[in-house]
Amino acid sequence: MEKAQKAPSHSANIAILDTSIYVHNFRSGKYESQLLQLNLVVRASAVVLAELSRGARSEEELNFVQTLSKNLKIITPTERDWLKSGEIVRSLSIREAWETHKIREIHFDVLIALTARRAGAALITNNVEDFRAIRNFIPFQLIEWN
């Protein structure tokens, strides 16, 4: 007997923070109060951790990424996520007529969105424009912080 699959919840109880939130908060403390008041369990996206590692400018920033990876459950894109991301990026690039550098940049955002969606997590970002464009192709819960 097969177990019935549960439909994704419309109100997530977990969240994935986008790279932009971590960077702004680490460098300026901009989102400290919002993070402390967050009523969701935070999970880390492997894609976000990779972006943070790639952009780490100091030993302190690299240590921050390593601490995140040790203390948060990490959600990783699946093979299906990677395949779907290529389709979405292609559609976005045609629709938006983006140049090559923008297409490369948005690919990780698509992977983050797909991972959040699959995990039933809300995605918190201040990179509103790109994630709104992605939502034209896949539904996922987006929380926008200014």
For the segment 61-91, what is each residue's pLDDT rounded down to a tens digit?
A: 999 999 999 999 999 999 999 999 999 999 9
Name residues whose C-beta falls within 8 Å of residue 4's C-beta, 6 or more positions apart in sequence. none
pLDDT attached to residue 73: 97
Tell me the β-bridge partners of 122: 15
| Range 111-126 average pLDDT | 97
Say if residues 125 and 131 touch (Cβ distance below 8 Å): yes
pLDDT attached to residue 110: 98
∠ CA(11), CA(17), CA(22), 5° rounding? 155
Tell me the β-bridge partners of 75: 45
| Range 31-55 average pLDDT | 97
Tell me the β-bridge partners of 144: 125
- Tokens 């960077």 label which residue? 23
Which region among 56-60, 68-72, 98-102 has the lowest average model confidence (pLDDT)? Answer: 98-102
Domains in the chain, please, with CATH? 14-144 (3.40.50.1010)
Question: Does 73 or 1 have the greater pLDDT score?
Answer: 73
pLDDT attached to residue 5: 34
With 90 as the cut, is the pLDDT of residue 25 above it? yes
Helical H runs in the chain?
A: 19-28, 32-37, 46-55, 59-71, 79-96, 100-119, 128-135
Which two structure tokens, joined as six digits, stand for 1? 């007997």
| Range 12-22 average pLDDT | 94
Question: Does 3 or 45 have the greater pLDDT score?
Answer: 45
